[in-house]
Amino acid sequence: MFKRLTIRKNAYYDSVALMSLAQEVQKLPGITDALVGMATDLNKDSARAMGFGGPELEEAGPGDLIFALLGDDAKSLDEAEKMVTARLERKASAGKQDTRGDVTYSSLAEVPIEEGGIAAISVPGPYAAREAKAALRRGLHVFLFSDNVSLEDELAVKEMGRREGLLVMGPDCGTAVIGGLGLGFANKVRPGRIGIVAASGTGLQQVLAVIDRLGEGITHAIGTGGRDLRREIGGITTLMGLDILERDESTTVKMVISKPPHDDVRRRVIAALEEGRKPAVVCFMGEEGGSSGVGAGKVRFAGSLEEAAVMACSLAGEGGSREIYPQEQIEAMARQLAAGLAGRADGAGSRYLRGLYGGGTLCEETMTVLARAGIDVYSNVAWRPELFLEDPETSQAHTCIDMGDDYFTRGRPHPMLEPGLRVPRYLREARDPDVSILLFDVVLGYGCHPDPAGVMAEAVREAAEIARRERRTLVQIAVLVGTSGDPQGLARQEKVLRDAGATVLSSNQAAAKLVALLLKSECKQ
């Protein structure tokens, strides 16, 4: 057996292209196995499994290309290497048009740009800053979907953007809607009067869904990435975004959605809002609502995403605020579901919630609502150390899991792309005899799975069957986040979930309140 390991430093190629190249190499005569890929941990493991090792492999990083070959003789390895080199060089050449008319370019430098616009960038984290800077140099705003970008790189790119007067939305920016153009996981929303700056993808989607349900619309929804309001970044994109919304004639109400910012950054953001001419709604997740109590009092604080959307719609329109789920309605739902739980064959006792979220912000909002109700919830994203799950794979007592967290998405797609990856865990929770409530989110929009409710409905049916066999009662609650124009069909998705036996709510806050009431009623029994 002959073997050869080649490592090319700082040579990034698209993984799809490399995978297909590896498959071609494996078919060459005299080649028994081949690996062509970036030196990720996974690919390095694969190379080790092929019998390769040594310092060169160990030192290789995700920015380096690995080319590992096993063959019958040296000539076969030479031929294979020649073929790979030729193919990689061809890939690096200028773009060509495919059958649909889409043109692929090997770098931003080749793209003919006649006027300003937005570059949407999604490459592995280590390469993202380089591409973002290239876009800024071309005069493009940046939508940076990539995660795993260092804080230093984020700051450098955003400072460069600020100098050039260009927005950098991200990194790890999941959703934006700019002048009607959806970027990332975007919902279809009407044009309207509300302008949003958001540091949370699913948080923004929940707000868009409520705004749509209340009949309002938006001007822009500018994503910032989750770290923009940290002290190190200083809210660069948030402040630039608010400036844009202030100057935009169509925007009459501004909104900011984020985790609680650093105190210094908070002061700057609130000051910017107070200095503006337009009323504003702020939702710093986990904080209580109220008014800012400073300046002209233009800023109102919301205690939840739903409340923020309702407030903004109220400010944009003429009517008063309209809750989607009035408290009485939630209480009535709770009474109905609690009656089913009370009547179960296995008797009453301590029973637990298990929440499996694809949207991290929604997960955190649920924990906030339950904490306000005095219910402790364990989580892989808990902010109280004593409630932090050491093993995200194992739930305990009441647990809510953010399955979009890095732990679950390393080497796997996000559950918004593949909701089915949550199903094994969902059914494992359903099998736990101490569990009586399962809670999950279904997020719609462009870029998301084409039928997420269909996938989860199968799981709901299966969980109900498990409970039936064990003569238990299981309440299954779905939070459906989407707008009436989303490509999956909001009404159809809701029906699919209801037909499977889930209780469906379109507000995460309302779902969390419902869970709190159910858990409280369980305690009383």
Partner 1 sequence: MTISQRFAPPRLGITETKKPEVSRSMTGALGWGQAGGARRHLGAVQAGRRFCGLLSGSRRYRVHSVFARALNLWDGREFLTLLPVSRGCGETCATLALAPEESFLDFGLVPGLEVEARDGTRVRLGPEVVVDFGSALTWESRLSTMAPGQLSDANLLVLRRTLLDASTASPLRGAVDGSNPGLAALLDALRVSVLAADGTRLGAALASLVGFGPGLTPSGDDVVVGMSLARAVFRRAGGRPDAGGLWEAGVRGALARTHALGAFFVEEALAGRSHEFVEDALGCLLAGRPQETGLAARRLIGVGATSGFDIGVGLYLAAEWERRYAWCSSG
Cis peptide, bond prior to residue 171, ω within 30 of zero: yes
158 or 513: whose CB is closer to partner 1? 158
Find the shortest distance in angstroms from Cβ 490 to partner 1: 14
| Rg of the chain on CA atoms, in Å | 25
Find the shortest distance in angstroms from Cβ 336 to partner 1: 27
185 or 301: whose CB is closer to partner 1? 185
Q: What is the rounded distance in angstroms from the CA atom of residue 483 to the CA atom of residue 489?
A: 8
What burial class does residue 235 get, using C-beta atoms within 10 Å of its C-beta: 0-12 exposed, 13-18 middle, 19+ buried? buried
User: Hunting for tokens 């020649």 — which residue is that?
Assistant: 82
Find the shortest distance in angstroms from Cβ 331 to partner 1: 34
Find the shortest distance in angstroms from Cβ 83 to partner 1: 18
CA dihedral 18, 20, 22, 26 (to 10 degrees): -170
Give me the helices (H) in 373-417, please: 406-409
Find the shortest distance in angstroms from Cβ 289 to partner 1: 28
1 or 16: whose CB is closer to partner 1? 16
Q: What is the rounded distance in angstroms from the CA atom of residue 53 to the CA atom of residue 44?
A: 9
Of 161, 129, 135, 151, the C-alpha closest to 63 is: 129
146 or 314: whose CB is closer to partner 1? 146
292 or 409: whose CB is closer to partner 1? 409
The conformation of residue 261, written as its DSSP 8-state character, comes to P
User: Hunting for tokens 């993984």 — which residue is that?
Assistant: 15
User: Hunting for tokens 């124009």 — which residue is that?
Assistant: 485
- The backbone region for 10, taken as left when phi is positive above 0, alpha when psi lies in -120 to 50, beta otherwise, is left
Find the shortest distance in angstroms from Cβ 440 to partner 1: 12
Of 284, 198, 268, the C-alpha closest to 231 is: 268
Find the shortest distance in angstroms from Cβ 519 to partner 1: 26
Find the shortest distance in angstroms from Cβ 162 to partner 1: 8
Q: What is the rounded distance in angstroms from the CA atom of residue 301 to the CA atom of residue 255?
A: 10
Of 454, 376, 458, 374, the C-alpha closest to 424 is: 458
119 or 369: whose CB is closer to partner 1? 119
Find the shortest distance in angstroms from Cβ 204 to partner 1: 12
Find the shortest distance in angstroms from Cβ 355 to partner 1: 17
CB atoms within 10 A of CB 276: 18
Residue-by-residue DSSP string for 55-91: HHHHH--TTSEEEEEEESSHHHHHHHHHHHHHHHHHH
Are the C-beta atoms of residues 154 and 171 closer than 8 Å to each other?
A: yes
183 or 337: whose CB is closer to partner 1? 183
Residue type, 513: K
Q: What is the rounded distance in angstroms from the CA atom of residue 46 to the CA atom of residue 59?
A: 15
Are the C-beta atoms of residues 57 and 67 closer than 8 Å to each other?
A: no
30 or 182: whose CB is closer to partner 1? 182
Report helix angle 236-247 to 263-275, nearest 10: 10
143 or 301: whose CB is closer to partner 1? 143
329 or 484: whose CB is closer to partner 1? 484
240 or 330: whose CB is closer to partner 1? 240
Find the shortest distance in angstroms from Cβ 428 to partner 1: 6
Can you read off the two tokens belonging to residue 511?
């779902």
